[in-house]
Structure 1
């Protein structure tokens, strides 16, 4: 089985990523909508359950130690301030807030299975699974783009503005715990958002409307509005979102967007967790229009690099409609080498997506 090369004889009726639901043997117009509704229900149940578990655990710790945790006030009332944002210098706060989003991914997959959109890997890529070799290929471009964003946002822009980074303020032991949580949980948080916005919503729209730009733009708008930033932060997130959606369509899967999203958030959370940004709490205000410069540079580097890799690897970006009763797209897996055709805090440091 190959990963990332185009088979000979690909037909003209092959489906692009956002149209994959149309390849279901028993496609009905209401199935994508029902999947979205069921996914919202499952996500609400899972997130509420996880939140309740955190409240019970932190309450038990407060009672056992006699010292209120960050989520409770001395009188035992819930600390609304602690729940209003992520404190990146608190392993518990990070675990709770990132976990509440990370649980979306299994909920979305379960929703697809529930309504009969199978295999559920249809939401992942045109190969109906994660294309691991392609995902690995995206790591270096994403790392370089993220590094460019961090250098521009954390060093160059503050220098122009007469500012500088602060000395680390988080105790080393606490920072190590936070870094562990960030490294382990953030990839799942980023992947969950990609499955929701670049996966589920994009494919729901694509099931009804052939025009790809509607499937790209509408989920991007919802993605931006899901973030609590000022206008410049929302524009920044929207720019990231529309680029991620375009890359998903262009490459036929979520892998590239997941890698970029995960590395971006990991880098920003680590910076925030250290205290070098002057605060460890994600803020609603941003650095204004200047932050868009870093995002434009980041997106341009990544898109151009990914496009070059896609062409060099002759990446499969479409799938044939399922045959009646088939559980996988036809054609992509049969290729052999002999048959190939000639594929934040929201300030000047960036925004958490």
Structure 2
């Protein structure tokens, strides 16, 4: 766990920083533009692209650790089927849109005086806007998947594997990655931190009850596309990546989305007959041969 964290949040960001700075120099840009956008200044398309590719690189970071140390393909971090279950993934994309509708319905019932009152005007469409849009459309789905592979893929199995009691293992597997996920987003107001913690808990539960990352990735992708899309259209990317004015009144709608989606994705997985466990250990070699009494591997 320490090694994958060191790779994902230490080695990889430094390596990509070097690459982006070299490219900036070759294109006649100032390297300070990238650095300022990363360390707290105005988020530029360069800084956003750097953040996206850094988080996407969590996927190979997980693979680099799980393959040589655990002897496992990346597919076993993806699901108990050993690969991405694409049909279920597409179903979850549709269900996430349905859950979003429930969120909008609850949001319409929220007292408007309790919500932020800033007037939102449509931003002008510029070259910078186009750059943001291309980055969001083409990189955000992989960025969301990278976070899920790290927090709900590797860490969920690794944390849960530290304990033998089933209820303790499952609790730790959900709560610890969820807390680290919320913490990894930096300084936040309590409502924003709690919202991200709740998202992590729901995503962790989804991984356990469905047996894979598909449902969590679909929900994460939709949330990020919506958040970044709203920032491009109405506000700015800097405030979207570094929110400071949180309110507890947003929680009813966001929790509605998460819980409705949890119920729908769980129901769909059961309806499709998807397994949520494998026979034998996952992140460590099985202690006994995973075979039937005849000595032959059980059929699929």
TM-score normalized with structure 2 length: 0.83
Cα distance between partner residues in 2 of 1:289 and 1:179: 30
The structure where helix makes up a greater share of residues is: 2
**Alignment correspondent of 2:294:** none
Equivalent position to 2:73, from 84, 98, 119: 119
- Whether the aligned pair in 2 keeps the contact of 1:146 and 1:260 (CA below 8 Å) is no
Of the three residues 208, 215, 237, the one matched with 2:173 is 215
1:38 Cα deviation after fit: 3.1
The 3 A distance-change label for structure 1 pair 59 and 168 is farther
Q: Is the aligned partner of 1:137 residue 2:91?
A: yes
Mark the CA change 1:145 to 1:70 in structure 2 (over 3 Å): closer, same or farther.
farther
**1:1-353 correspondence runs (5 A):** 36-43=1-8, 44-62=10-28, 68=30, 71=33, 78-79=35-36, 82-85=37-40, 90-149=44-103, 159-160=112-113, 161=115, 163=117, 165-209=119-163, 210=166, 211=168, 212-228=170-186, 229-274=188-233, 276-277=234-235, 279-281=236-238, 282-321=241-280, 324=289, 334=300
* 8 Å Cα contact 2:92-2:265 kept in structure 1: yes
Deviation of 1:85 after TM superposition, in Å, equals 4.6
Contact 1:61 1:69 in 2 (8 A): no
Rg larger in 1 or in 2? 1
Match of 1:15 in 2: none
1:150 Cα deviation from its structure 2 partner: 6.0
How many angstroms does 1:225 deviate by? Answer: 1.1
Secondary structure, counterpart of 2:243 in structure 1:
coil
For CA contacts below 8 A with separation 6 or more, give which structure has more relative contact order: 1
Deviation at 1:158, TM superposition (A): 8.5
CA distance in 1, matches of 2:94, 2:54: 29
The 3 A distance-change label for structure 1 pair 318 and 230 is: same
Moved more, 302-311 or 238-247: 302-311
Map Cα deviations across residues 245-287 of structure 1 (whole Å, 9 max, x no partner).
001100011110011001100110011122x13x331333133
* Runs of 4 or more consecutive aligned structure 1 residues displaced over 6 Å after TM superposition: none
Q: Deviations over 1:175-220 (max 9, x none)?
A: 2332121111111111111111111111112212132112111111
Q: In structure 2, how many angstroms separate the alpha carbons of the residues matched to 1:69 and 1:38?
A: 29
* Structure 2 residue runs without a partner (length 5+): 281-285, 292-296
Q: Structure 1 residue 289: deviation in Å?
A: 0.7
Structure 1 residues 222, 166: CA separation in 2 closer, same or farther (over 3 Å shift)? same
Deviations 1:109-156 (A, max 9, x none): 121112133133211111111111111111111122235446766x77
Give the 3 Å change call, closer, same or farther, for CA 240–132 of structure 1 in structure 2: same
Instruction: Provide the secondary structure at the position in 2 that maps to 1:286.
Output: coil
| TM, length-normalised to structure 1 | 0.71
Aligned equivalents of 2:261, 2:14: Cα separation in 1: 36
Task: Kindly indicate whether the alpha-carbon contact (under 8 Å) linking 1:142 and 1:302 is maintained by their aligned counterparts in 2.
Answer: yes
- Structure 1 unaligned segments of length 5 or more: list them: 1-35, 73-77, 335-353
Provide the rounded CA distance (Å) in 1 between the counterparts of 2:116 and 2:160.
Answer: 47
